[in-house]
Each structure stands twice: as structure tokens, then as C-alpha cells.
Chains A and B, each alone.
Chain A
Amino acid sequence: MLITGVSSPLGARVATRLAADPAVEHVTGLDTRRPPGALADTITYVEADLRRGELAGVLKLAAPDVVVHHDIVQFPEPGRSARSLHDLNVIGTLQLLAACGELPALRALVVRGSASIYGSQPDAPAFFTEDLARAGALRTRFQRDVGELERLVEAFARRHPSVVCTVLRLQPVIGATIDTPIMRLFRSAVVPTFLGFDPRLQFVLDQDAVGAVVAAVRTPVRGPVNVAGDGTVSLARTLRRLGKRSLPIAAPVYGPAVAALARIGTLPPLNDDVVRYLRNGRGVDTMRMRRDLRFVPTHTTAEAIDAVALAIRTEHGHGAAA
């Protein structure tokens, strides 16, 4: 099988799990950056940029029966600027799917999508089911990206009925090893909140995000599947469990205030998705994940937050000792 985005922290963990699985014959990993050392020894690493056409040759050579498209990026990373994200997500997927179309042995495609496709609206259903994506306007850049990406996957699935195409719509992933704006917020001294708002949040612990992708490789299901820890937790309760102070900011000045704090380095830069999530929150229904994917996360949303709280406290403990 073949996995893209193998050098990202989560992608590497998915690849490690799959390489250790006796049912998986061989793992080929694609990325533009070298994977961590230990992983590079167990899989075949191919340096490839999804946005370029050379992909078809690589895929034909690897001849995978399952392709995991894990190289979906929501936030800028070193070497991947904010301006390149759209190209990575949409053009990358387009090229990958074109190459996948020429693989006769392919039986399953697992795409790591995002629950961001549902957006964050005050009047939204409390728990989005899979059929409610794109019901409202797509408001943020990443939301439009995942919307377009899913349309591409749908079109591919229609043209290749023998390939089972799964899109996992993950709620924001948290965990000690994760470096996203939300995790950086949880690590910063204060967390800016919207004055007078307390959204319901829902998370996936990193190990469950990995587990869900592995489950989808084992039990491919057709169409989108929401992935989240059980239940929701309000932002106020989240911050209290993390032992963080909130900094309430009135909605009209929230954007400029947060941008100013980011400029002086007090806060990580927050994109539209994160800001909207911190104002309105979001919940997804996970019935399909349990029934069809047959995956049950090890941690509920509340337990995931507690696990992160414990990890952050331990980090601080080490920091003080050093």
C-alpha cells in the first residue's frame, strides 16, 4: 500500500502502524521531506511532490492495492507556506487521483479530510451528520479546499466503482505530539476567547486520529465518515481542565487584537477556521464511525482534553527542572 504525507508527525505514525501490521505486505511512503529515521528503514520512501506530474510513474511502480492520502494540510508548516496550502490540498489530490485512475489493482482509497467542511455557525445543528456537508456557504479558505477535495474524490469514486473511497472528516486533532494553532493556544499563557460566548468543542486525540485511518484501511467504507471523540466540552470547561486563563475579547475587536498578540509572539497566528471554531464551536455525529467503520476511539473529547492537560503539565514540570 501507499501513503502520502508520510513525513508529517501523524502520517509517520499511521505508516508505522501499517508497516507493523502483518496483513499489510509493503508500505510505500511519499513526501517532499525525509521521514523520521526509524520509519525510513521499514518502508520504501519516495521523495515526490504531489503537485507534479511525475506521480503516475511512481504509483505504477509501487502498484498499491490501498492508497492513503494523508497529505492534507490545514496550517502552514516549515517549507509549506500559507499560500501553497491550496495547491497542496487541491492540486495534490487532483494529481494523485489521476495517477490512481491508472492502477488496476487499487481496491481502496482512504482520504484524510476534515470536519472543517461543516464550518462553525451559531445556528448549526449541534451534531453534523455526514450528509450535511456543504449545506451552508463555505466560508473559509480551508473549508473551500476540503469541499473541493471531497468533490474530486466523489467524482473519482463515481468513475471507479471498484475502488472503495473513504473520506475521514476529523475534528481538530489534539495531543502532546501535535503542533497546530489550537495546541499552541493550549500551551500559551492565556487563551483569547470571545466575550460572552462559550462554544461546544469536540476533539480527537492524536492516537485515535491514527487509529481511525488504520481502521479505514482495514474496513474501507464508501463515502465520508466523521471522526471525533465522544461528546462535546465547552471552551470554558476545556480551559479550566487545562488550567489555562482565558482572555475574553469583544467580538468586533477580536480579530485585530489576536493579530496584534500574534505579532508580538504572545499567541500563535490563528486562521479563520480556528477563530470561527473558538466562537461557535462544532459537533459531529459519529454513528457512522462506530457502525460502518467499526472504530471506537479510546478517548472521549473530555478524556482527550485531560490527556493533553496531563502532558502539558508534565512538560512544564520538566521545563522548571531544566
Chain B
Amino acid sequence: MIGPLRLVRDLRRAVDLTARRLRGDYEEDEWGFDPAFAATADPLLRFLYDRWWRVTATGTEHVPRAGRALLVANHAGVLPWDATMMATALRRGGLDRDPRFLVLDWAFGLPWASVAIRRCGGVPASPYNALRLLEQDHLVMAFPEGAKGVGKPYGERYRLQRFGRGGFVELALRTGAPIVPVAVVGSEEIYPKLGELPLVGRLIGAPYVPITPTFPLLGPLGAIPLPSRWRIAFGEPIAFADLGPEAAEDRALVLELSEEIRDRIQAMVLANVIERPGAFR
């Protein structure tokens, strides 16, 4: 008896939820983040986390439970799956926060993708957006390698690219937010980039169009990432509060700190590559 009753109740709840959605009666914050929409991706993300990429996460306790913080991670893998897995790892680690992530501006000109990214908590990677998010005490994920990171060739997959001009350090200094260095290992193997199609890229305005073993050979199926084994390591937070916001004006200091953090993440990446049993095992 209980079974059918529960089914009826669940069904009624689903219908109710849909009706409220259609009336526009749902939450959405000023950034366009839509918690209910983001939750619908959960089952897929859980599957990818547990079964597909068999993620091992360490150091989630280093991420502040409340207040502003900037997560700075290496970036690889053509599509930003690393951000979603970092968020899932934090949720698993008992962190009840919705991290926001800075996404390459270019993605916001794309149909559908732009909408999905924004509803899940992505914002265009502009310093103004990051500043406002941190001032609102959000947890912000940044990938200073940017497009150069996701587009690096397979042979250099574990070598971090230049960290831009250190803009993320400037933000941390200005807002007093601690930086949590993060190393993601495994995203490098999900779309092994063998080459590029620069002409096609220029044609559609994309930063680059990769050639992988499955793309463009298998068409849209090429978007299915390979099932590599992942490790995500959250390092100890680095606090800048004692330096004060004026330090953000000091170019030399900003570049030095940026280099230091890059080195630390590079070391964390290599340590986790060694600790991992194998890329696909």
C-alpha cells in the first residue's frame, strides 16, 4: 500500500513543482543562479563523480564554511567539467554552499550553454563580477589559466600555463578573501587534445576547436568525456588580510604572489599524478 501512495505523493509534488515553474514562481538570484535548475543536474554529476571518473577528493576541510573565499585551480579538459566536479566534491565534503564559477566570456554568447551555465552559478570571467561576488561573501572558483589551460596539448597536460596577469591575486588582496589552491588531476585525460582546427575556430569565433580521438570523428558523441580517474586536492588557504587592500596596487607583489600560488598548485598536481594508480585505472 505504501508504494503506490508514495508514488502518488511524489507525482503530485512533481506536478506542483512544474506548475510553480510555469508560473515563474521560483527562486533566482541577481546573477541568474537558479538553485532548482542546478539541482536537476545533480544525478548526472553524482554519476560522473562516483562511477565515471571515480573521484578521490582530499582537503575539503580547508574550504571555509562561511564567508568569502577564492578557489584557484588548474584548468584542463576542453569543457569545464572540472568546476562541476570541484563543486560536487565540496558538497560531498559536507559544505553547504553554492560555489560560483568564473567562465570564459566567450561561452556567454552561445545558445543554451550560456543559459545552463548561468543557472548553475557561472558568471562571465570579469574582474567586476568576481569583485562583487566576493564582496557578497560568495565562494568563487577561478581558473587563471583560462582558455590556454583547457586548450593545452596532451603532451603538456600536467604543466600549468601562465596565470594571466595575476588578476585573481589582486581580487583577493582587495577583498581580503583567502585563496584556496586546488589541484585537479584527471580532467587532462577526458578529451586528449591531439591538434587544433584554427580555421574552424576563427569561423565560429571560438577560442580554439580541438581534435581529440573522438572529435570531430564521432560528431556530437565526441563530447562524451573519457572515463579517466580523478583526484581533487584542496590545499591550505592562503590569507592576505594582513597585507591590506592597498597591496593590490603593487604590481610586483601581485605577480610574485601569483607565481607562488601557481608553483604551489603545480606541485600539488604532480604529487597527485604520482599518487593516482593510473590515468584510466
Contacts and interface: CB of A to CB of B under 8 A. Distances in A.
Interface string B106-150: 101111101100100001101011001000000000000000000
A123 B23 contact: no
Given A123-B106, A126-B31, A240 B124 contact: no
Q: Which 7 A-B pairs have the closest CB atoms?
A: A196-B111, A240-B24, A123-B105, A241-B24, A125-B128, A122-B109, A122-B108
A126 B31 CA distance: 7
Contacts of B112: 196
A280 B180 CA distance: 33
Contacts of B29: 231
Interface string B83-105: 00000000000000000000001
Contacts of B109: 122-123
A233 B25 CA distance: 12
B26 interface: yes
Interface in B8-47: 21-26, 28-32, 34
B108 A126 contact: no
A123 B23 CA distance: 29
B22 A200 contact: no
A282 to B, nearest CB: 12
Contact of B32 (A195, A196, A234): A234
A219 interface: no
B30 A125 contact: no
Contacts of A242: 24
Interface in A115-152: 122-127, 129, 132
A127 B115 contact: no
Contacts, number: 75
Contacts of A124: 124, 126
Interface in A243-296: 251, 283, 285
Given A196-B115, A237-B28, A127 B128 contact: yes
Contact of B114 (A122, A195, A232, A240): A122
A234 B37 CA distance: 13
A238 B105 CA distance: 24
A229 to B, nearest CB: 11
A198 interface: yes
Contacts of B114: 122, 196-197
A239 B24 contact: yes
Contacts of B118: 198, 200
24 contacts: A122-B114, A122-B124, A123-B105, A123-B108, A123-B109, A123-B124, A123-B126, A125-B128, A126-B124, A126-B128, A127-B128, A196-B110, A196-B111, A197-B111, A197-B114, A198-B32, A200-B31, A231-B29, A231-B30, A232-B31, A233-B28, A240-B22, A241-B24, A251-B111
Secondary structure of the A contact surface, majority rule: loop
Interface string A144-168: 0000000000000000000000000
Given A234-B28, A283-B30, A197 B128 contact: no
Contacts of B32: 198, 200, 232, 234
A125 B26 contact: no
B111 A195 contact: yes
Contact of B129 (A125, A194, A195, A238): A125
A137 B118 CA distance: 25
A291 B28 CA distance: 26
B132 A127 contact: yes
Given A231-B30, A232-B30, A237-B26, A197 B132 contact: no
B24 A125 contact: no
A241 B108 CA distance: 25
B115 A122 contact: no
A126 B123 contact: yes
A125 B111 contact: no
Interface string A81-111: 0000000000000000000000000000000
A242 B128 CA distance: 32
Nearest to A283: B30
Contacts of A237: 24, 26, 28
A241 B23 contact: yes
A118 to B, nearest CB: 12
Contacts of B25: 241
Contact of B105 (A122, A127, A232): A122
A38 B180 CA distance: 64
Task: From B30, B108, B115, B123, name the one whose CB has the most chain A CB atoms within 10 angstroms.
Answer: B30
Contacts of B105: 122-123
B125 to A, nearest CB: 9
Contacts of B28: 233-234, 237
A45 to B, nearest CB: 42
B186 to A, nearest CB: 29
Contacts of B108: 122-123
